[in-house]
Amino acid sequence: MKKQLICLLLILGTSLSSFKKDGPKRIIFFGDSITQAGVGKTGYITKMTEMIAAQGLSNQYELIGAGIGGNKIYDLYLRHEEDVVAKNPNLVIIYIGINDVWHKTSSRTGTDADKFERFYTALIKKIQKANAQVVICTPTVIGEKFDNSNENDGDLNAYSAIIKKIAKDNSVQLIDLRKAFMDYEAKNNIENKASGILTSDRVHLNETGNQFLADTMWDVIKKL
């Protein structure tokens, strides 16, 4: 009788696990103010939802924004249980790092590189433990000049390198947004402006930036 009960529980557990994966693929976008704005009228998550609908795929994907303004990597770690794991996602897109770099110079409350890597790695492992696939992104821009003359370009490049290392060490998919944005700026920012091409204020995206981000992310997500 005891063996039969154990077998029944194992079967039930397997069934529940399978049930979680039924229906649309639930994708959570986990990040800061750029992601918080991503669910707005012209935000990148809204743009991606519209793209998916235009392709007749709305029944295959459920997109959820989980962004909070000002967040850094440790903020994501502290709220991942409630804002990510509790929602039973299939896929989590982590897009963080702007504030970890920017706040070093703006308010001296940024995140040191070693702590950034440790928190990021721990966050990935927590989400993977919840049986969700993880995709991580390099940070985009703090200033749109394409010649590495923006104040924070050095740190953005360094933290992007850390994220690439994290992706390799943890065998997770990487979306190199930093490279994509800088390539776009080199081609389209003829006057080497600090803002107004993809951003409204050097950091937060305008409608063109949101569409570009949606296109760049979707090119990777649709293949997963």
CATH of the domain at 211: 3.40.50.1110
Mutual orientation of helices 153-170 and 113-129 as an angle, nearest 10°? Answer: 40
Digit-coded pLDDT (tens) for 4-53: 544 444 444 444 443 445 799 999 999 999 999 999 999 999 999 999 99
Check: CB of residue 135 under 8 Å from CB of residue 94: yes
Residue with tokens 């992310």: 217
Digit-coded pLDDT (tens) for 55-107: 999 999 999 999 999 999 999 999 999 999 999 999 999 999 999 999 999 99
The pLDDT of residue 22: 72
Residue 109: inside a domain: yes
Diameter of the chain measured on Cα atoms: 77
Range of the domain at 64: 23-221
Digit-coded pLDDT (tens) for 104-148: 999 999 999 999 999 999 999 999 999 999 999 999 999 999 999
Digit-coded pLDDT (tens) for 154-186: 999 999 999 999 999 999 999 999 999 999 999
Residue 5: inside a domain: no
Q: How many domains does the chain have?
A: 1
Q: From CA 46, how far away is CA 39, in angstroms rounded?
A: 5
Check: CB of residue 27 under 8 Å from CB of residue 65: no
Residue 17: inside a domain: no
- How many residues in the chain? 224
Residue 8: inside a domain: no
Residue 12: inside a domain: no
